[in-house]
């Protein structure tokens, strides 16, 4: 009986920003033994970690106005717009800020570009909490994510200041910037806000695609960096499955395959990766 050969990406799983956010959440829970620590939305985009933190005592709310005065508000790793910090202060909440330092950097860059007179452009997903937070640091930031959307920027022919969502792939950002440069903008200032932790995971995943027959990308279905990893693997022509945990696995996913690759987004804990790999190694590839 031949079992699956499983190869792990050389860079995968938790980044320092996620580790710091979880540690800060746990320390905050510990120093508030009577409860009353509430995160505004999931601290990171991983259900298993969020559930674990909930069992340790972290509550979650989608609405700042529902959090009673005097409680502790945990700002998640994706950050929040400045009006959330202001409203929290007005409501007399004790704010603990778990925003990743690289997201904070992007927030500061956006503010500075605006102060310097640039029309700020953010290349990113306008629905993503990081983007929603970052664009709050300057008025009228324009968010674009495809070349078709660049024409929306055309009325602003003066000075453009460009940043990108930290988890975007450099190739996509480079394509966007190339397309912007091909239009009649007078001055363009680009500040690199991409996260190297994400880039290293993307490079490792692409490298691994050369040695395997099927790829498993583990992580939250809403996690932008995990989705980007899966998209890159698909771009390599690889059969790719983006799964949250081993529970989502089906044996037909490895039908006729002998060598599988595994990688994981920056918010996926080692426990999920290890459990998946151990089970996958024992999986019987179904016949085609």
Q: Which positions are catalytic?
A: 130
Burial tier of 31 (Cβ tally within 10 Å: 0-12, 13-18, 19+): exposed
CB of 100 to ligand F3S, least distance (A): 3
Cα distance between the two ends of the chain: 16
CB of 196 to ligand F3S, least distance (A): 8
Q: Which residue in 4, 9, 15, 180 binds ligand F3S (CB under 6 A)? A: 15
In the shown chain, the binding pattern of residues 58 to 97 toward ligand F3S, with x for contact by CB under 6 A and - for none, equals -------------------x--------------------
CB of 268 to ligand F3S, least distance (A): 11
Stretch near ligand F3S under the rule CB under 6 A, chosen from 10-18, 29-37, 55-63, 169-177: 10-18
What tokens were used for 20?
A: 């710091």
Identity of the residue, 218 or 280, whose beta carbon is nearer to ligand F3S in the bound complex: 218
Stretch near ligand F3S under the rule CB under 6 A, chosen from 16-24, 116-124, 202-210, 212-220: 16-24
What tokens were used for 235?
A: 């771009």
Q: How far is CA 137 from CA 14, 30, 43, in A?
A: 27, 32, 21
CA within 13 Å, CB half, 104: 9
Give the interface size with ligand F3S as a residue count (CB under 6 A): 15
Residue 107 as a binder of ligand F3S (CB under 6 A): the answer is no
Edge-to-edge strands of the sheet including 119-123? 142-144, 119-123, 159-164, 187-190
Q: Which of residues 223-282 bind ligand F3S (CB under 6 A)?
A: 225, 266
Cβ–Cβ under 8 Å, residues 256 and 214? no
Cβ–Cβ under 8 Å, residues 121 and 142? yes
Residue numbers of the site for ligand F3S (CB under 6 A)? Answer: 15-18, 77, 100, 102-103, 166-167, 195, 197-198, 225, 266
């Amino acid at each position: 009986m031949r079992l699956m050969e499983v190869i792990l990406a050389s860079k995968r799983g938790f980044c320092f920003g996620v580790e710091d956010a979880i540690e800060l959440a746990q320390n905050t829970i510990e120093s508030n033994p009577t409860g009353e620590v509430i995160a505004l939305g999931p601290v990171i985009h991983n259900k298993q970690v969020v559930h674990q933190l909930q069992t340790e005592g972290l509550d979650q709310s989608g609405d700042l106005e529902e959090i009673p005065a005097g409680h502790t508000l945990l700002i998640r790793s994706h950050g929040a717009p400045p009006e959330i910090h202001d409203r929290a202060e007005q409501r007399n909440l004790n704010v603990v800020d778990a925003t990743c330092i690289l997201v904070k950097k992007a927030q500061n860059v956006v503010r500075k570009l605006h102060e310097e007179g640039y029309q700020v452009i953010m290349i990113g997903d306008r629905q993503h909490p990081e983007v929603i937070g970052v664009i709050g640091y300057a008025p009228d930031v324009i968010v674009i994510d495809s070349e078709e959307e660049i024409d929306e920027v055309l009325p602003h022919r003066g000075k453009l200041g460009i940043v990108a969502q930290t988890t975007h792939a450099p190739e996509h950002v480079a394509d966007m910037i190339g397309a912007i440069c091909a239009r009649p903008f007078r001055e363009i200032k680009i500040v690199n806000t991409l996260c190297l932790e994400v880039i290293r995971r993307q490079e490792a995943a692409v490298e691994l695609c050369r040695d395997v027959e099927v790829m498993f990308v583990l992580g939250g279905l809403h996690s932008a960096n995990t989705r980007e990893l899966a998209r890159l693997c698909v771009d390599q022509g690889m059969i790719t499955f983006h799964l949250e945990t081993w529970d989502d696995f089906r044996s037909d996913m490895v039908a006729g395959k002998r060598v599988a690759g595994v990688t994981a987004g920056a918010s996926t804990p080692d426990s999920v990766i290890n459990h998946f790999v151990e089970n996958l190694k024992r999986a019987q590839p179904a016949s085609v």
